Amino acid sequence: MIIGLSGYAQVGKDTVGSILIEHAVFERVSFADKVREVALAINPDICFDYWHSNLRQLVETKGWEEAKKIEDVRRFLQRLGTEAIREHLGEDAWVNAALPDYREYCSSHAGVVVTDVRFPNEAARIKDLDGEVWRVERPGYGPVNNHPSETAMDEWPFDRHIRNDGSLEDLKWSVFRAYMEMR
């Protein structure tokens, strides 16, 4: 079983993934993990708020979640993932890197949750593997910028919508309901 999660930044995709991991024996996969590995290998200089460093030092100091909030870091990751790799090596480059032997992998795991579905081809691969793609929504949150990685999934026909507009307990119940409906 595979579930892909899509939604804007900071809406709770990783939290929904964590709920599935904790309560439904899923394992997390992220298309962005490989992007981050490549970004750290390049290790560009980053300047912000009178601070000069490189990406590796920034991530070691602040972690990826905080680092991605810095506009230059987010823009670098988006351009690396989309304009550099997707446009030059093919739109499935990250999909193939993250889900190379999915069927074999799933024979030894209960399920996989992909916490960062950003493009229709990523969602299509999940559907091809008999999975579902869920949209996580949170009132007041929209695209961080106009980059295609922020908006490409806006018109996708999602299997389920998870509305994150209450407490963590409310979110857990929404995830449990969606999970039970798909089974």
CATH number at residue 27: 3.40.50.300
The residue among 46 and 11 whose pLDDT is bigger is 11
The residue among 26 and 171 whose pLDDT is bigger is 171
Is the distance from CB of 13 to CB of 40 less than 8 angstroms?
A: no
Q: Which residue has the tokens 């030059």?
A: 88
Domain residue limits at 154: 2-182
- pLDDT value at position 108? 60
The residue among 102 and 67 whose pLDDT is bigger is 67
Q: Quick one: which of 63, 59, 24, 23 has its CA closest to 41?
A: 59
CB-facing half-sphere around the CA of 42: CA atoms within 13 A: 15
Average of per-residue pLDDT across 128-147: 93
Is the distance from CB of 13 to CB of 136 less than 8 angstroms?
A: yes
pLDDT per residue as tens digits for the range 37-74:
999 999 999 887 777 889 999 999 999 989 988 889 98
- pLDDT value at position 101? 61
Put simply, whether the predicted model's pTM sits higher than 0.85 gets the answer no
Rg (CA), the chain: 17
Backbone angles phi, psi at 163, to 5 degrees: -95, 115
Is the pLDDT confidence value at 183 over 80? Answer: no
**Residue 49 gets which letter from DSSP?**
T
| Residue type for position 61 | T
- pLDDT value at position 174? 97
Structural domains counted in the chain: 1
Is the distance from CB of 119 to CB of 152 less than 8 angstroms?
A: yes
